[in-house]
Amino acid sequence: MTTIDDTAAPSTAKPGARPGGKPKGPRFLVVQGTLPYRGLQLGAVLLVALLLLWASGLPAFRMGQITNVFIIAIAIAGLNLVTGYTGLLSIGHSAFFGLGAYTTGILIVKYEFAPLSTIPVAIGLCFVLGLLVGLPSLRIHGLYLALVTLAVAVSFPEIVRRAEELTGGAAGMVVRSRFLAPPEWTGLVRAERGIWMFWFSAAVLAVVMLLCRNLVRSRFGIAMRATRDNEIAAAANGISVARTKIVAFGISGAITGLAGSLFTMYMGALSPDGSFTLLKSIEFITGLVLGGVATQIGPLVGAFAVVFLPYLTASYTEGPLAGVVFGIVLIVIVFLMPEGIVGRVGILARKVVHIVPADHPRLGRADREGPPEPARAEQ
Amino acid sequence: MAADGALLTLRDVTIGFGGVTALDAVGFDVQPGQILGLIGPNGAGKTTLFNCITRIYQPNSGDIRWQGEDLLRVPAHHLPKLGIARTFQNLALFGGMSVFDNTMSGGSSQARIGATSGLVGWPPSRSRTKKLRAKAWELLERLDLVALADAPAAGLPFGTLKRVELARALMAEPKLLLLDEPAGGLTHSEVKALGELIVSLRDDYGFAALLVEHHMGLVLGISDHVVALDFGNKIFEGSPEQVKHDPAVIAAYLGRAA
Ligand SMILES: Nc1ncnc2c1ncn2[C@@H]1O[C@H](COP(=O)(O)OP(=O)(O)OP(=O)(O)O)[C@@H](O)[C@H]1O
Ligand SMILES: [Mg+2]
């Protein structure tokens, strides 16, 4: 009955025209797990490595900006899980970012933790906060849920201001740079913190993107997307909508909290009105939409956009007009590419290359009836 | 009262919406492996009955049992695990997902879905996924959907999506399959092919089916047993042969047509 034909799997990539000669289909088929597929993957990794090496030679200011991009990208990757893949709009992710940041700051300053050892604590606390914020999603939906997350976002800076003893209140908190020196095993000195944070953020981002990719493709990922698209049908197919939403919120919060933790190490100074207000949440959402909702690389591209676009528009115009130009650029991008930059590129790429899963039943057949149709919703 | 060996037992199921009594003390049994045709004019309460069985609606009174177990205490998402799967009259697919992923989602009850194992790509969970994927491909082949496996569900024709829903429901390896107008959107010859497909699937997988359909040729052709509803009341229960000559059923259809 089962029609997987293993004999065909190894190394049979099939470049060339589609059988049947339909003009519209993709021109290249690449089978997952085959040599050409691995080649493409390796090529992508090499390209990224080269880009990173190039960026690490940039002036300190630029490198710092790119570190910031990586950190924002991690935060947006977290948001993407709950808003992009599970369909729960969160305006509260600045609070996860802030909780992660303050957890790391407080542990270093008050309890003399090494920076790296604060990360698990920050992740854990943000995971729990995520579960809690996810709880109302069982009863309330859509914009009403967004209002709850809005309340979380608005109350976070207020709580930080009140908890003065721990957080330094409105005056903020400074983490002295001697606490933030690169770990000894790196061989870097204290003045080279910028280099350390650049590579460290890049590595964490890579791990986060890999984990998100695993998750989204897993059966839990299917449950997340099913819950997003139709809750009644998801339940009828055996998916616990409640568990899916809450766990997705927890993981999402944990990842954005991790970004906050890195942010403290990067900045060395925290204040409630600086980076943890509603504006930060809006920045994350903007980045997610620009990069591509429910895409795997969208968060990174979106982070580049939200960090660099304001600079770009400011360099061509002056004064308050820059904000207006930035707004216009946003509108134009969203108008031209409602699926986001990565979403759009993905649609174009699939016209040229078509990735086929290795267990596709028509792969090994002599009577190959032609490959599956193109077009994928996401990934 | 106790129906020996019945899969599903409905007794006095009653539900109303405002002034409308959508179901009024409806009761019957579904036996293992049986195809039970559920007919009735528009608004008779057929879909409402499905929604009561699948825990979308809570009946005002009555009793719904699954192999003796009280279904009215079971949450909706546990039904596939018990062996109950359904399709929807007006489609309830996951529009943003591919046909393949839609089908895979039907296997959600077949093995534990772990978030942690999903994150790290844990090998045991991968091998479970591999088995389910093989099953999904098998069903897509069977339902002639392989060529569309990669296409997003949103945008495909209604009749095709009905087959996707069928594939998704079969992923749960159901003992009872609830089909709400599976022939919707099909042409005359396609309806005939669908009838044969349902029977052959039943023969291979051994499920019982509760089949709601307006297409009388299809229902009477493949059902082992027929129940007719009208205005929420059961007006007939018997063989497909008998229902053709039943005055109450004829009156219900003619009365509504006038
Ligand atoms: N959620 C609801 N709220 C209010 N009334 C409802 C609801 N669901 C069903 N009804 C009513 O219950 C009655 C039965 O509807 P139902 O959809 O079960 O009919 P049906 O037999 O499936 O009809 P059709 O053949 O047209 O699909 C109708 O009068 C309908 O308006
Ligand atoms: Mg109906």
Convert the pLDDT of each residue in B129-167 to its tens digit.
Answer: 999 999 999 999 999 999 999 999 999 999 999 999 999
Taking an 8 Å cut-off on Cβ atoms, the answer to whether A225 and B151 are in contact is no
Q: Is the pLDDT of residue A75 over 80?
A: yes
Q: B161 contacts in A (CB within 8 Å)?
A: none
For residue B39, the ligand closest to its alpha carbon is 1
Residue of chain B nearest A222, judged by CA positions: B105
Q: Determine the residue among B51, B57, B102, B119 to mutate to test chain A binding: the one whose Cβ has the most chain A Cβ atoms within 10 Å.
A: B119
Nearest residue (by CA) to ligand 1, atom 29, is B43
SS3 A269: strand
Query: Taking the mean position of all CA atoms in its chain, how far away is CA B243?
Result: 22
Question: Which tokens hold the place of B48?
Answer: 């409402």
The residue ranges of every structural domain in chain B are: 8-254
Tell me the β-bridge partners of B20: B17
What do you get for the CA distance between the two ends of chain B, in Å? 38
- C-alpha A184 chain-centroid distance: 29
Distance CA B113, CA B126 (A): 11
Is the CB of residue B149 less than 8 Å from the CB of residue A372? yes
Instruction: Please indicate if any CB of chain B lies within 8 Å of the CB of A6.
Output: no
* The pLDDT of residue A322 is above 80: no
Per-residue pLDDT at A302 exceeds 70: yes
Cβ–Cβ gap B146/A361 under 8 Å: yes
For residue A244, the chain B residue with the least C-alpha distance is B115
**Ordered DSSP codes for chain B:** ---TT-SEEEEEEEEEETTEEEEEEEEEEE-TT-EEEEE-STTSSHHHHHHHHTTSS--SEEEEEETTEEGGGS-GGGHHHHTEEE--TT----TTSBHHHHHHHTTTTTS---HHHHHHT-HHHHHHHHHHHHHHHHHHHHTT-GGGTTSBSTTS-HHHHHHHHHHHHHTT--SEEEEESTTTT--HHHHHHHHHHHHHHHHHH--EEEEE-S-HHHHHHH-SEEEEEETTEEEEEE-HHHHHT-HHHHHHHHHHH-
What is the position in ligand 1's atom list of the atom closest to the CA of B20?
A: 29
Q: Does A237 touch chain B (CB under 8 A)?
A: yes
Best residue for ligand 1 mutational test, from B13, B14, B15, B17 (most atoms within 8 Å of Cβ) = B17
What is residue A290's predicted lDDT score, i.e. its pLDDT? 95
Distance B227 CA to ligand 2 centre (A): 15
Specify the residue with its C-alpha closest to ligand 1, atom 25: B42
Eight-class DSSP state of A51: H
Q: Which protein residue's CA is at the shortest distance from atom 24 of ligand 1?
A: B42
Q: Quick one: pLDDT at residue A12? A: 34
Going by C-beta distance under 8 Å and a sequence separation of 6 or more, which residues neighbour residue A253?
A78, A82, A93, A96, A126, A127, A129, A130, A131, A133
Protein residue with its CA nearest to atom 5 in ligand 1: B17
CA–CA distances in Å: residue A357 to residues A4, A24, A183, A330, B30: 11, 21, 42, 36, 40
Q: Which of B224, B214, B153, B142 is nearest to B183 (CA)?
A: B214
Domain ranges of chain A: 60-300
Residue with tokens 């895409």: A295
The CATH superfamily of B8-254 is P-loop containing nucleotide triphosphate hydrolases (3.40.50.300)
At B116, list the tokens.
Answer: 């942690």
Strand order through the sheet with B208-212: B84-86, B176-180, B208-212, B35-39, B225-230, B233-238
Nearby residues of B13 by Cβ (< 8 Å), 6 or more positions away: B23, B25, B26, B27, B49, B52, B59, B61, B62, B63, B64
Name the amino acid, one letter, at A292: G
| β-pair type (B225-230, B35-39) | parallel
Ligand located closest to B45 CA: 1
Under the banding of pLDDT at 50, 70 and 90, the label for residue A363 is confident
Distance in angstroms (rounded) separating the CA atoms of residues A293 and A301: 11
Q: Which two tokens stand for residue B141?
A: 């082949």
A2 with B80: Cβ contact below 8 A: no
Rg of chain A taking only CA atoms, in angstroms:
23
Q: Closest Cα partner for A209 from A323, A117, A342? A: A342
Atom of ligand 1 nearest to the CA of B89: 27
Q: Which residues line ligand 1 (CB under 6 A)?
A: B 17, 20, 22, 40, 42-48, 89
Size of interface A-B (CB pairs under 8 A): 165
What residue has token string 């990565």? A342
Residue with tokens 């008998």, as numbered in its chain: B242
Look over chain A and give the mean of its residue pLDDT values, rounded to a whole number.
Answer: 88
> Average of pLDDT values for A326-340?
88
Half-sphere exposure of A115 (CA within 13 A, CB side): 25
CA B94, distance to chain mean position in Å, is: 17
Mean pLDDT of A166-191: 91
Query: Which residues crowd ion ligand 2, with CB under 5 Å?
Result: B 47, 89
A253 reaches B (C-beta below 8 A):
no
Q: What percent of chain A lies above the pLDDT cut of 90?
A: 72
Supply angle C-alpha A182, A184, A187, rounded to 5.
Answer: 85
Residue B135's alpha-carbon distances to A377, B110, B130, B168, B233, in angstroms, are 22, 11, 9, 11, 40
CA distance B217 to B219: 6
pLDDT of residue A25: 62
Q: Write down the pTM of the prediction.
A: 0.91
Q: Which of A3-12, A194-203, A350-359, B21-30 has the lowest mean pLDDT?
A: A3-12
CB contact under 8 A, A373 and B118: no
Residues of chain A contacting B169 with CB distance shorter than 8 Å? 237
A285-304 residues touching B, CB cutoff 8 A: 294
Q: Confidence class of residue A79 from pLDDT cuts 50, 70 and 90?
A: very high
| Cα B86 to ligand 2 centroid, rounded to whole Å | 13
Taking only the tens place, the pLDDT of each residue in A105-137 is 999 999 999 999 999 999 999 999 999 999 998
By C-alpha distance, the chain B residue nearest A246 is B115
pLDDT, average across residues B22-46: 96
Predicted ipTM beyond 0.90: yes
